[in-house]
Amino acid sequence: MIDGMTPRYESVIFDLDGTLADTEPLVLGCMLETINAHGHGVDEAQLLKFIGPPLPVMLYNMLGLDGEQSHVIYMDYLRRYEDVYMPQTRPLAGAESLLDALEAADVPLAVVTNKREDAGRKTVELLGWSERFETIIGADTASDPKPHPAPLLHALEILKGEPSTAVMVGDTESDMGAGRNAGFAGVIGIIGVRDEGYLRRFGATHTAEDLVGVQRLLFDV
């Protein structure tokens, strides 16, 4: 317990983009640039309807592109993002203080992202957070990406935690579904890309407007 606060969960797993890292405008901008460069006219409103799964899945759901077509666009996206967009990454407001509080309370932490693992690790390293997380799980780490429970359960095994005392924090239906499918005690949705009703429909047990609100949900005061 620190400063009168007791953590409500024994393990916390975070999504990365749009949850801890202020990357939503970067990801959307790079996706739009790349997809349109390959001759597929999409706009931000259309893209936002499909955001969440890995980009190849998004391209199939949104445009009906097959694996080969999606792979070409995905590899171009990865190159553009790493070269131009990733260096602009900044933490979301409240992220540092939230991670500080969890670290001080000795709560083990992990990141589970639908980025590739190497891209997730580079983002975490860029933010100076490599020592904060016991593991970084990407879309290519476990058997299936979110909303499949595999990446969360893999992370939880490394944290030596149990679903009955774990919480997932994210901002899309992929995060909510993964937490629900893994049987986590808590699934916290951050309102923004998706509204409260949508997040709860896909598995959120709680919602918050921002990371300050998330911190309130993670601690008993």
Vertex 180, ends 106 and 25: CA angle to 5°?
75
**Residues 6+ positions from 83 with CB-CB distance below 8 Å:** none
Strands, E assignment, the chain: 6-7, 11-14, 109-112, 135-137, 166-170, 186-190, 206-208, 219-220
**C-beta of residue 23 within 8 angstroms of C-beta of residue 123:** yes
Residue 5: per-residue pLDDT: 82
pLDDT tens track, the chain, 221 positions: 456 689 999 999 999 999 999 998 999 999 999 999 999 999 999 999 998 889 999 999 999 999 999 999 999 999 999 999 999 999 999 999 999 999 999 999 999 999 999 999 999 999 999 999 999 999 999 999 999 999 999 999 999 999 999 999 999 999 999 999 999 999 999 999 899 999 999 999 999 999 999 999 999 96
**CATH code for the structural domain at 24-87:** 1.10.150.240
Indicate if 15 belongs to the active site: yes
Residue 21: per-residue pLDDT: 97
**CATH code for the structural domain at 6-22+90-220:** 3.40.50.1000
Tokens 């602009």: give the residue.
88
Structure tokens at 68: 């080969």
30-79 confidence digits (pLDDT tens): 999 999 999 999 999 999 999 888 999 999 999 999 999 999 999 999 99
- Domain chopping of the chain, boundaries: 6-22+90-220, 24-87
Strand order in the sheet with 166-170: 135-137, 109-112, 11-14, 166-170, 186-190, 206-208
